[in-house]
Amino acid sequence: MNPVYFDNAATTWPKPKETLHSMMQSQKSGGGSPGRSAHRSSIEAARIIYDTREAVAQLFGVSDPCRVVFTKNATEALNIAIMGLLKKGDHCITSSMEHNSILRPLRFLEATRNIKISLVSAHTDGTIDPSLIEKSLRPKTRLLILGHASNVTGTIAPIQEVGAMARKHGVHFLVDAAQTAGSVPIDVESMKIDLLAFTGHKSLFGPQGTGGLYIREGMDTCIVPLMAGGTGSHSEFEEQPDFMPDKYESGTPNTIGLAGLSAGIAFIQKKGIETIRKKERSLLKYFLSGLRKLPDIKLYGPAGIADRIAVASFNIEGMTSSEVAFALDEKYDILCRPGLHCAPAAHRTIGTFPRGTVRFGFGYYNTFPQVESALKALEEIAQRK
């Protein structure tokens, strides 16, 4: 039997055939280092990198593709922004629903640079009240960070409203789009986003090891690079280049991965984000409707589906999340994610720490028969506990 894959919130699978084909072709046609030589293989690699940069820029409404910096994932992108921007004594606001990719860098800077952190409490369904964020503003508030959607409950944050608020108060706004890039429309200009971190291996249908950071024009002058080294540009100088995107892209880039990312984005543009989102929300709605009919199961997150991505967290009374996930895998070939999902603060917020939850992340390639099989499996597991 082919496994039923419901762990798309961690990594989407399967990938479109276009993604795999593009990665193979990038190596068959050359495989040189972009920007490191003038031969045809190096030039072709550089073209792949720039084409991918343009694809990302178009997807997020970025007018200048050179404002897009490539990283190996959203975590690296968030670290560039957080570690490079915050200085001793600065104040930062974030929410209690955030991933450790945000909270761990902040806690590190709290201990080493004496930055101050305001953790705005979300409601137990993961929703965030923008007025509480505004009340947390201080004279030294330099950065406001929000995940676009929770990887635990799927709750979508009020990015548009918070972005306008941050811009009004002159506070930099960093958005973690790891869970939404490719499945929820994003426009950095209309949403007043200064910094956007994204990963390629989730809803952008790219491979692992790809991601990036959008940096609004002018902000690169106040963000110190996370590392320095060879960029292929201005090699006559020992100092790091001071221009975008080279300033933040030291080392040979993941050309084969970015070729796949470009194809993944092309797949999204062809299908349409709204089409993808509609399919995923339909799967979520069907699953939640069926799950609510089963005994001894507790659901977390918003009651409706309008303001959430296709992520569902739940527990079965009398069983740990790991026991449920193990039974789904071993007996029913259903793959999902149990535990704390690298987001302990979010689980404290919804009341599931340290137990965690069972998380299903639905993707474009999932089907209604797969969801039906999962509901039947959960009913049997709950009855046998």
Which tokens hold the place of 309? 């991505």
Interhelix angle for 74-85 vs 100-112, to 10°? 30
The tens digit of pLDDT for each residue in 270-326 reads 999 999 999 999 999 999 999 999 999 999 999 999 999 999 999 999 999 999 999
pTM of the model: 0.97
In this prediction, residue 1 carries a pLDDT of 63
Residue 243, amino acid = F
Query: Class assignment of domain 4-14+272-384?
Result: alpha beta
Interstrand relation of 297-300 and 4-5 (parallel, antiparallel or unpaired) = unpaired
Question: From CA 246, how far away is CA 45, in angstroms rounded?
Answer: 16
The tens digit of pLDDT for each residue in 319-337 reads 999 999 999 999 999 999 9
Q: Which residues pair with 203 in a beta bridge?
A: none
Do 165 and 159 meet the contact criterion of CB atoms below 8 Å apart? no
The tens digit of pLDDT for each residue in 253-275 reads 999 999 999 999 999 999 999 99
User: Of how many residues is the chain composed?
Assistant: 385
Query: Class assignment of domain 17-270?
Result: alpha beta
Question: From CA 162, how far away is CA 260, in angstroms rounded?
Answer: 33
User: Model confidence at 384, in pLDDT bands (50, 70, 90)?
Assistant: confident
Output the 3-class SS for 74-110: HHHHHHHHHHHHCCCCCEEEEECCCCHHHHHHHHHHH
The mean predicted confidence, pLDDT, of the chain is 96
Check for a shared fold between 4-14+272-384 and 17-270.
no
Going from N- to C-terminal start, the domains of the chain cover 4-14+272-384, 17-270
Residue position matching structure tokens 């902040």? 106
Is the pLDDT at 32 greater than 90, yes or no?
no
Output the 3-class SS for the chain: CCCEECECCCCCCCCCHHHHHHHHHHHHCCCCCCCCCCCHHHHHHHHHHHHHHHHHHHHHCCCCHHHEEEECCHHHHHHHHHHHHCCCCCEEEEECCCCHHHHHHHHHHHHHCCCEEEEECCCCCCCCCHHHHHHCCCCCEEEEEEECECCCCCEECCHHHHHHHHHHHCCEEEEECCCCECCECCCCCCCCCCEEEEECCCCCCCCCCCEEEEECCCHHHHCCCCCCCCCCCCCCCCCCCCCCCHHHCCCCCCHHHHHHHHHHHHHHHHHCHHHHHHHHHHHHHHHHHHHCCCCCEEEECCCCCCCECCEEEEEECCCCHHHHHHHHHHHHCEECEEECCCCHHHHHHHCCCCCCEEEEECCCCCCHHHHHHHHHHHHHHHHHC
The tens digit of pLDDT for each residue in 187-225 reads 999 999 999 999 999 999 999 999 999 999 999 999 999
Is the pLDDT at 160 greater than 80, yes or no?
yes
In this prediction, residue 324 carries a pLDDT of 98
Residue 332, amino acid = Y
**276 Cβ partners below 8 Å, 6+ apart?**
182, 183, 203, 268, 364
Do 309 and 184 meet the contact criterion of CB atoms below 8 Å apart? yes
The tens digit of pLDDT for each residue in 42-96 reads 899 999 999 999 999 999 999 999 999 999 999 999 999 999 999 999 999 999 9
Question: From CA 370, how far away is CA 363, in angstroms rounded?
Answer: 11
